[in-house]
Structure 1
Amino acid sequence: MKSVTRLLAIALLFAGATPRLGVVAAAAQEVKREAIIEGAKKEGKVQIYALLAVPEHMQIIQRFKEKYPFIEPALYRATSERLYTRIENEARANTHLVDVVGVSGYQYYQLLKRGLIGRYESPERRSFDPAFKDKEGRWTAYYVNPMVTAFNTRQLTAQEAPKDYGDLVDPKWKGKLVMEDEEIEWFSTMMGFWGEEKGLAYMRRLAAQNYVIRHGHTLMTQLVAAGEYPAAVIVYGPQTQSTRNAGAPIDWHALNPTVSGINLMGIAAKAPHPNAAMLYIDHMLSEEIQKDYLSGKFFKVSARQGIPSAVMQKLSKVKVIPVDITQSENFEKHRKRFREIFLGER
């Protein structure tokens, strides 16, 4: 710690009578980081609960271990819903095991409301688009999932395929496209974007198209690529682009606006290894991981500014709005309304 203190003293000396705030701030940040590293050495562990697939996440963890060999990471992977339930149950039992939380927006917001998420202003957050981080340091989108419309390239040209919201309610597509049966996040976000009157009017017109209802975006992507349907109303852009890159006859258009699912990461409020957790969050949000791993190897879309991808290139032409995670408070209301409109349930 003496070397850290000396570093700060030297920075202050160079600042002189007219303090160079940037130099002082950088030195202070270095002091803080050294303290975090020292704390992490004593902790020796970090427990991660996240939804990113294990084969992918383990590569990120391996890189972390190379940088911080004194920390042993442990990963528990499940769906967002199961992770939420596990964290909540542990909190009720006063058994706080998780350090780093990485789940989708709706579940993350519920954890936040219950006081189970802490605050950490990672220096890496400065590089993230303001729409994909909060102002208090409680969450940052470590990858995002834009929702797009996809089409089979053997059946439709890019010009012929539906490419905007107006096209999706064109009578010529009636009964021909496929749609997900639980598109609640997209539905609630667009209702908020358009407003009640316009939103309901559009959703009812879309429902009147009598599209084929299936469950699962992965399945719908596969079915469109196989030619079972000429197009899908909403699928995930990164998955569709990855399928296209593998040689399948599928492509996609970005709707305007494009709703983007968000997968959020932050520190648990009662993390048993808080310093190691902070280092892991820095690692996940770093340019190296966002660019070389999430975007480069795994075809995920990064919310970090300056990370190129084929998906982001298309999205640059439209307005992208993140899923409104506050709508999770009214999830059952939105789910009921969606199912009434699209599935005819009462």
Structure 2
Amino acid sequence: MKYIAKIVLVGLTIVVSFVSAIVETKAAEKRMVIYASHPTKLVDYFVERFKEKYGNIEVDLITGGTGELLGRVQAEKNRPQGDIMFGGGSYTGGSAPELFLPYDSPALDGISPAFHDPKGYNAPFDAFTMVIVYNKNLVPEDEVPQRWSDLTDPKWKGRVVHANAAASSSAYAAMVTWIEIGGWDLVEALAKNQIIVNSSSIPFTQVGQGENALGVTYEEGAFKWVPSGNVGIVYPKDGMALLPGGLFLIRDSPNPINARLFADFVLAHPQQSALATEFLGRRPTHKDVKLNPAMVRVDELNLIKYPMEDAISKKKEILAKWKKVMMRTR
């Protein structure tokens, strides 16, 4: 009997190993639904390469702002329709554990520890920082703001476009950074000059097209317009935060295997390298992938410590204050 048991055990081991090998090259599910706040071009790029590796999977892509997509995940909580939320701040998963699954994978071994999620929910696909973007035809070179505080100058009233922190995770990150630098006084002084919009892509688009002189935006958005020759980028000297972007596995999703495979896939070295070379303005999180040489190195930035715990635990309170600031300054 012991001999037979050993044969059975060995047989099972071989079967499990064989099945595991199949999963490595072919997804066990035929579908995946991604909710993405990233640009469609970027998401499509990695989805196509994922399909090349794992087979012809049907991928549905639903795009929107981070706040909008998070609201959708919340509304679908009792019957989830999506598998992945791709985009948003790294704190999103930890702030809503009822909506997302923890992400614990060997793929994280290749990611710089600085970008690991202390709460264990994020698959840190990329890193970003917020910058000032300006139109060279509308802002004289000797007047280009060099600090966040420079944007409070009355001459820029109505000429600085910025996304609503309640709708955009990158705009929220910028606001938390300002609170750290100069408190709510700085936030309110900046708001007095700002045109507030509901999409994080509007600031760099309007500045690039010459509709506004200045904008607060994420780094990749600013880089989109650099080839035009009309746009310049400023890395504020009074402080910046470097933060991982978000990728989260939706709890009780219909295709959980594909979701986890995709998260592991985009964190792997080949995809991180492609991120750095193909998407200027995106910062890879993999410790063995070099930054695109066209971008400013981390050691050249005045980085501050971002208060992640407060940004998560006090988000409702912070956004309530922000709403009052907007009402006072509109």
Distance in 2 (alpha carbons) for counterparts of 1:309 and 1:289: 14
Kept in 2: contact 1:48–1:99 (CA 8 A): yes
Alignment of 1:70-109 (within 5 A): 72-79=57-64, 80-92=66-78, 95-105=79-89, 108-109=92-93
Match of residue 267 from structure 1: 249
- Offset of 1:139 from its aligned partner? 0.8
* Alignment match of 1:48 (pick from 5, 22, 33): 33
Alignment of 1:160-309 (within 5 A): 160-170=143-153, 173-175=155-157, 177-180=159-162, 182-183=164-165, 185-186=172-173, 188-190=175-177, 193-194=180-181, 198-207=182-191, 210-215=192-197, 216-232=199-215, 234-245=216-227, 247-255=228-236, 256-259=238-241, 262-292=244-274, 294-304=275-285, 305=287, 306-309=289-292
Q: Aligned pair in 2 of structure 1 residues 134, 193: CA closer, same or farther (>3 Å)?
A: same
Match of residue 27 from structure 1: none
- 2:111 counterpart of 1:124: no
- Offset of 1:250 from its aligned partner? 0.6
Distance in 2 (alpha carbons) for counterparts of 1:270 and 1:189: 32
More deviation in 318-327 or 294-303? Answer: 318-327
Gap regions ≥5 residues in structure 2: 1-8, 167-171
- Offset of 1:147 from its aligned partner? 1.2
User: With structure 1 as the length reference, what TM-score do the two structures score?
Assistant: 0.72
Kept in 1: contact 2:179–2:187 (CA 8 A): no
Kept in 2: contact 1:151–1:250 (CA 8 A): yes
The one-letter code of the counterpart of 1:189 is V
The one-letter code of the counterpart of 1:43 is A
Q: Aligned pair in 2 of structure 1 residues 176, 282: CA closer, same or farther (>3 Å)?
A: same
Kept in 1: contact 2:91–2:308 (CA 8 A): no
- How many residues are paired up? 309
Kept in 2: contact 1:139–1:266 (CA 8 A): yes
Distance in 2 (alpha carbons) for counterparts of 1:218 and 1:144: 17
Kept in 1: contact 2:101–2:250 (CA 8 A): yes
Distance in 2 (alpha carbons) for counterparts of 1:53 and 1:75: 15
More deviation in 249-258 or 73-82? Answer: 73-82
Counterpart secondary structure, 2:34: strand
Counterpart secondary structure, 1:43: coil
Kept in 1: contact 2:134–2:231 (CA 8 A): yes
Identity %: 17
Residues 72-97 of structure 1, C-alpha deviations (whole Å, 9 max, x = no match)? 242231223343233333332xx344
Residues 253-277 of structure 1, C-alpha deviations (whole Å, 9 max, x = no match)? 1124224565311333334444333
- 2:129 counterpart of 1:146: yes
Counterpart secondary structure, 1:180: strand
Q: Aligned pair in 2 of structure 1 residues 49, 32: CA closer, same or farther (>3 Å)?
A: farther
The one-letter code of the counterpart of 2:53 is K
Kept in 1: contact 2:81–2:253 (CA 8 A): yes
User: With structure 2 as the length reference, what TM-score do the two structures score?
Assistant: 0.75
Counterpart secondary structure, 2:221: helix
- Offset of 1:251 from its aligned partner? 0.7
Distance in 1 (alpha carbons) for counterparts of 2:128 and 2:18: 31
The one-letter code of the counterpart of 1:275 is I
The one-letter code of the counterpart of 2:76 is E
Residues 34-60 of structure 1, C-alpha deviations (whole Å, 9 max, x = no match)? 737549858333423231344432332
The one-letter code of the counterpart of 2:328 is G
